[in-house]
Amino acid sequence: MYVCENCFNDEEIQMSIKNHNQVGDCDLCGACGVNIKDLDEFEDFFIELLCLFNKDDNGEDIVSCIQRDWDIFADDKFASIIINYFLNKNNLPYSLIDKVDYIAEVNKYIDNWTELKNEIRTKTRFYSSLMSYFDEKGSLLKSNLMLAKGEQFYRARIVPSGRMYLTKKDMGCPPADKATPGRANPIGIPYLYLCKSPETTLYETRAVYLDKVTIGTFRLVRDLNMLDFTASISLFLAFNGDVELYDAVAQHKLMQRISKDLSKPLRRYDTDLEYVPTQSICEYCKMKAIDGIIFRSSLHKDGLNIVLFDEGSAECIKVKKIEVTKVSMSYK
């Protein structure tokens, strides 16, 4: 079976097909006169990936798992055909319709993080196993993105009662003696929380109807080395690199879990202890000369949050005052 680059979303697979320098008709999507490659040339990669799953009644089908976590295929139909082809060809111990989950060697990374969180919350806070655990993982928590000097991000504050507006000087971090604990910062240690878009700031401040809000535009004053918890990876690239595929999968799944914990809003019945594990992650990142982190907003779809460990890394260059005139809610 010949496949073309249009059958995949993974850019490294697309590049492999393109660089193969063979033009013909795709047996999968039916495209004519396109770059093609024999599907069997990808067999080693797909078999190693499929062997990272076991049957699990509490899981989901293999196509859903792979598409959700890795977005390898252009659509689910192509995914089903290719995955089913390799499952049958190699007599793997589950089928396309079976429910599956990752094998224990992958899930142990998540289990270890859960244990570490419990240890930090309830047993040993300042000298926990977190440091040694991530030191052993080597490349897991390291800078993977540079933000360039001059890039702009946003921060919102609700205008307090009795004031008409906030100035640029009001838009920075609170002083240390007034810094409350947050997702990233411990009490008394202020970090600068920013957003990728002005819209996300309104969700993150939880502005409500008729609130007066000031949105500040911040400009980076230097290049910053960031840890982006939202970064995607190509498993095909990892497979052809120096990292074992199961390690690449497990590490990325762990990064996703930490990102989810960073994004999780504090509920009214939660305590500040909920933030301690992610605060510890940020302290570790600071020790590794990382300037800040990026993670997804749980309150605004596709929104991104940026946390800078040094407030002086960015300056507020302008402010805009708005009033919330409409709030949309949904009920399911």
Mean pLDDT by 10 residues, the chain (332 residues): 97 97 97 97 97 96 96 97 96 95 91 88 76 71 93 95 89 93 92 96 88 95 96 92 86 90 77 87 91 93 95 96 78 58
What pLDDT is stored for residue 272 in this prediction? 79
Residue 124 located in a structural domain: no
Asked if residue 315 and residue 191 are part of one domain, the reply reads: yes
Q: CB–CB of 237/12 below 8 Å?
A: yes
Asked if residue 54 and residue 162 are part of one domain, the reply reads: no
Give the neighbor-by-neighbor strand order of the sheet with 2-4: 2-4, 34-38, 23-24
Name the pTM for this structure. Answer: 0.88
SS3 193: strand
C-alpha closest to that of 154 among 219, 209, 206: 219
Residue 114 located in a structural domain: no
Q: CB–CB of 73/4 below 8 Å?
A: no
Asked if residue 89 and residue 152 are part of one domain, the reply reads: no
Asked if residue 185 and residue 62 are part of one domain, the reply reads: no
What pLDDT is stored for residue 332 in this prediction? 58
What pLDDT is stored for residue 331 in this prediction? 58
Residue 125 located in a structural domain: no
Q: In the chain, how many domains are there? A: 2
d(CA 14, CA 249): 20
C-alpha closest to that of 272 among 176, 193, 206, 188: 188
Q: CB–CB of 255/189 below 8 Å?
A: no
Per-residue CA distances from 126 to 273, 292, 325 (Å) = 13, 21, 45
d(CA 277, CA 260): 12
- 232-236-237 Cα angle (round to 5): 75
Q: Quickly count: other Cβ atoms within 10 Å of residue 170's Cβ.
A: 15
d(CA 208, CA 325): 9
The domain boundary residue, chosen from 77, 100, 123:
100
Q: Which residue stretches of 90-154 are H helix?
A: 104-122, 130-136
* Residue 249, domain extent: 145-323
Return the beta strands (E) in the chain as ranges: 2-4, 23-24, 34-38, 53-61, 99-102, 145-147, 152-158, 192-195, 212-220, 224-228, 292-296, 304-308, 314-323
Residue with the two structure tokens 């249009």: 6
d(CA 53, CA 130): 28
What pLDDT is stored for residue 264 in this prediction? 83
SS3 247: helix
- Phi and psi angles of residue 219, each rounded to the nearest 5 degrees, phi first: -115, 130
Asked if residue 95 and residue 31 are part of one domain, the reply reads: yes
Asked if residue 176 and residue 80 are part of one domain, the reply reads: no
d(CA 198, CA 207): 13
- Phi and psi angles of residue 3, each rounded to the nearest 5 degrees, phi first: -120, 160
Asked if residue 196 and residue 60 are part of one domain, the reply reads: no
Asked if residue 179 and residue 313 are part of one domain, the reply reads: yes
Residue 40 located in a structural domain: yes
What pLDDT is stored for residue 143 in this prediction? 87
Q: CB–CB of 83/3 below 8 Å?
A: no
Asked if residue 178 and residue 300 are part of one domain, the reply reads: yes
Residue 304 located in a structural domain: yes
Asked if residue 35 and residue 158 are part of one domain, the reply reads: no
